[in-house]
Amino acid sequence: MNWIARLAFAGLIGTASAKSKHKPTDFDWDTITPTHQLEYHPCYDEYNCTRLIVPLDWLDEGNPHTVALAIIKLAAKVPDSDPAFGGTIFANPGGPGGSGIQLMLSEGHIFQDTADTDRKKYEILSWDPRGVQFTSPKAECFEDQLARGTDKVQRLAIGPLDASPDALRRQWARIHGYGKLCSQGAVNGSIIPFATTASTVRDMVAILDKIKELRDDEAIARVDGGGGGVQKPMQFRDEEPLRMLYWGFSYGSFLGNTFASMFPGRVGRIIVDGIVDADDYVAGGWKTNLQDTEKLIEYFYKTCFTSGSKCALHRSEDKKWEDIRSRVLALAKRLDNDPYSTVKGKVISTLTGYDVIDAFKQPMYHPFTKFLTLAERLNSAIEGNYTGLLENATEDIPPLDGVCLAPNATLPVPSTTGDGGQAILCGDAEDATNMTMADYRAYVSELVEQSPTFAGYWSQIRFACTGWDVRPKWRYTGPFSTPEHDPAVVEGKPAAPLLFMSSRLDPVTPLRNAYKMSARHPGSTVVVQESVGHCAAETGSKCSKEIIQKYLEHGIVPEDGTVCEPDCDPWDGDDCLPSTKGIRVAGLGPSPEMLISW
């Protein structure tokens, strides 16, 4: 996200090329002059980057302020004049606020190798949405690293929202102070009131149009140079506007759903995975996410028991899976009654029972890469070694030593942090500033009924919006639907039905959301990955890969409710098939900038 980049998940299959060793900061985006066309420059060795100028305010293009979208692409393995060229797939990692630049650097080849067939080769494109990372202006409420880091330390020091009535009061005051800080920065030209999904969808249309312009210009150049004409992508007629090929995850499912609903006539192919309930999202409720979370936690214990020695928590004397859970709960109780502290150098670290619960968050998003580690950390803690739990508990504490040693202690805020995700989700939602502390307590109680484990963590999303008083200039609140598709490419209609995907047990986007959203898009179907974790892409599956390839090439979706078996089990570890290792993208959840140590 950088809304939850740390809750990324492993995913879709394909024998991939080696992943990029580059970090997003390895390239200086300021060396690219923003332009009104797609003028690509080599970047990160094997990619091409550009900065596209679009209006700040799509509803008032007379507004002189603009946005420079940071765009990155991985070229197709054939020229776009080749008959095998399948088009440009737009990829979004989720969030909101996930960086498309980060996504492409780590997973661009995996996307491409998953989509490509012997017959069709695709270009993969992503971008940093409005307010995020390298797109400018960036949503940034804090002046420097010290200010942001100090705020984060303050939040951690106050403690969890439910620690005491005083903790809630202090966090309530702090989050409203944060809202005031961001509001002060929302001056003329600021991105904050213009960072909603509606504006991002319009940006996507602009990028799509510019791709068409670039291809047309290249085609003319080839003809003038005797190189022949251009091959149109897929079956779409050259005289028609280019159609969108899109692949989005988690919040990216909402982005794809919104694009299809706002511009159904620009839909070519839309793949959405880890489905957000659009109605709940725009209402700002976040009440349709945790329905399956406890089932997934129970799955962890049950499969730990059946996996025997593969799971470090398992004991030969265990008679049932509840025996394992009892030991973990006893650990949490022990740390609540007798908190642990340690000193490393001059740094003090502590653990309480909250940290045992906190250790479950990331593994529930991506069990196939985290279950083994979770079991090892919990088992070590039960035996008195807290190293693993300490690593998890302290990873959010900002390192301020370098900041404090800097001249005037005012190093610029790193490009990888920011408040874009907050601007997007609070702007997309109904105004929450009329919510009281009593309302919030009742809201948390409602979430506790859904998931005692995730409720406190999840409630921080809405909590952060209670102090956010910047209202957006443009919101799209529905309807979230499309007319029936027409493969003949008819104006105003999708060229193919939408493809919805979901894991069987998802911690924050339950399967029921996929069926609810799919029902509004005639002809669309839901593919269920018979696995666990956030999004079907968490799990490798040749079945899912073949469905995606067929859909991209032909626009054909399988029967609704088609089930794909995974290639691996969360406890397989290194025994897992290499083909299952792949896409890691941002997941839905609270921003790391907003998290309070739950």
What is the Cα–Cα distance from 598 to 289, expressed in whole angstroms? Answer: 18
Same domain, 240 and 133: yes
Query: Does the pLDDT value for residue 260 go beyond 80?
Result: yes
Which run of H or E residues covers position 2?
Answer: none
SS3 state at 576: coil
Strand ranges in 506-568 using DSSP code E only, listed in sequence order: 525-532, 562-564
Q: Is the pLDDT of residue 393 over 60?
A: yes
pLDDT value at 418 more than 90: no
pLDDT in tens, 12-69: 222 233 345 688 989 999 999 999 999 999 999 999 999 999 999 999 978 999 999 9
**Cα–Cα distances in Å, from 373 out to 313, 376, 523, 592?**
11, 5, 41, 21
- Do 120 and 251 lie in one domain? The reply is yes
C-alpha pair distances (Å), 336 with each of 161, 339, 376, 589: 16, 6, 21, 26
- Give the integer Cα–Cα distance in Å for 114 and 32: 30
- pLDDT band for position 3 (cuts 50, 70, 90): very low
Looking at residue 185, what is its pLDDT?
84
CA–CA gap between residue 428 and residue 258 (Å, rounded): 11
- The pTM of the full predicted model, rounded to 2 decimals, is 0.91
- The pLDDT, as a whole number, for residue 465 is 96
Burial (0-12, 13-18, 19+ Cβ within 10 Å), 348: exposed
Q: Are residues 298 and 215 in the same domain?
A: no
DSSP summary character for residue 135: S
Q: For residue 129, what are its two tokens?
A: 């949405």
Residue ranges in 466-541 assigned as alpha helix (H): 511-518
What percent of the chain has a predicted confidence (pLDDT) above 70?
86
Task: Give the up-direction half-sphere exposure of residue 523: CA atoms within 13 A in the CB hemisphere.
Answer: 18
For residue 343, the model assigns a pLDDT of 93
Q: Is the pLDDT of residue 595 over 80?
A: no
Does 436 fall in a domain? no
User: Any idea what the CATH number is for the domain that residue 548 is in?
Assistant: 3.40.50.1820
Q: Is there a single domain that holds both residue 298 and residue 346? A: yes
Q: Do 361 and 258 fall within a single domain?
A: no
For residue 143, being part of any structural domain is answered with no
Spatial neighbors of 355 by CB under 8 A, at least 6 apart, are 335, 389, 392, 393, 597
Per mean pLDDT, which range of 87-101, 412-426, 509-523 is the poorest?
412-426
Judge if 95 and 244 occupy the same domain: yes
pLDDT tens sequence across 108-131: 999 999 999 999 999 999 999 999
**Whether residues 219 and 325 fall in one domain:** no
Residue given tokens 């899912």 in the structure block: 544
The encoded tokens of residue 96 equal 């909101």
Q: What does the mean pLDDT of the chain come to?
A: 88
Contact predicate 525/504, CB 8 Å: no
Does 591 fall in a domain?
Answer: no
Segment among 234-248, 267-281, 377-391 with least mean pLDDT: 234-248
| End-of-domain residue from the set 342, 376, 394 | 394
More confident residue, 1 or 196: 196
Examine residue 512 and state whether it is found in any structural domain, yes or no: yes
Instruction: Specify whether 366 is located in the same domain as 349.
Output: yes
Count CB-CB contacts under 10 A for residue 39: 16
How many of the other CB atoms lie within 10 Å of CB of 433? 14
- 199 closest CA partner among 499, 520, 493, 423: 423
- State whether 299 and 282 are in the same domain: no
What is the CB neighbour count within 10 angstroms for residue 33? 11
Q: Is 224 found in the same domain as 75?
A: yes
The pLDDT of residue 407: 55
Backbone angles phi, psi at 445, to 5 degrees: -60, -40
Q: Which spans in 472-541 are helix H?
A: 511-518
Number of domains into which the chain is organized: 2
Asked whether residue 587 is assigned to any structural domain, the reply reads no
Domain assignment present for 429: no
Q: Containing domain of residue 332, as a range?
A: 293-394
Segment 423-430 shows an average pLDDT of: 97
My answer on whether 312 and 223 are in the same domain is no
Give the whole-angstrom CA distance, residue 180 versus residue 595: 18
Buried b (16+ CB within 10 A) or exposed e, 505-516: bbbbbbbebbbb
Task: Reply yes or no on whether the pLDDT at 191 is more than 70.
Answer: yes
pLDDT at 6: 28
330, 359, 394 — which closes off a domain? 394
Domain boundary among 349, 365, 394: 394
Whether the pLDDT of residue 481 is over 70: the answer is yes
Higher-pLDDT residue of 597, 178: 178
Query: What is the pLDDT at residue 479?
Result: 98
Mean pLDDT of the 152-156 span: 80
Contacts 24+ apart (CB under 8 A), 288-291: 288/510, 288/512, 288/513, 289/458, 289/508, 289/509, 289/510, 289/588, 290/447, 290/450, 290/451, 290/454, 290/455, 290/458, 290/507, 290/508, 290/510, 291/450, 291/510, 291/512
User: 41-43 and 47-55: which strand pairing?
Assistant: antiparallel
Q: What is the pLDDT of residue 310?
A: 96
Q: What is the pLDDT of residue 370?
A: 95
pLDDT tens across 318-374, in order? 999 999 999 999 999 999 999 999 998 888 899 999 999 999 999 999 899 999 999
Element spanning 141, H or E:
none
In this structure, is residue 440 part of a structural domain?
A: no
Please indicate, yes or no, whether residues 130 and 272 belong to a single structural domain of this protein. Answer: yes
338 lies in some domain:
yes
Please say whether the beta carbons of 10 and 568 come within 8 A.
no
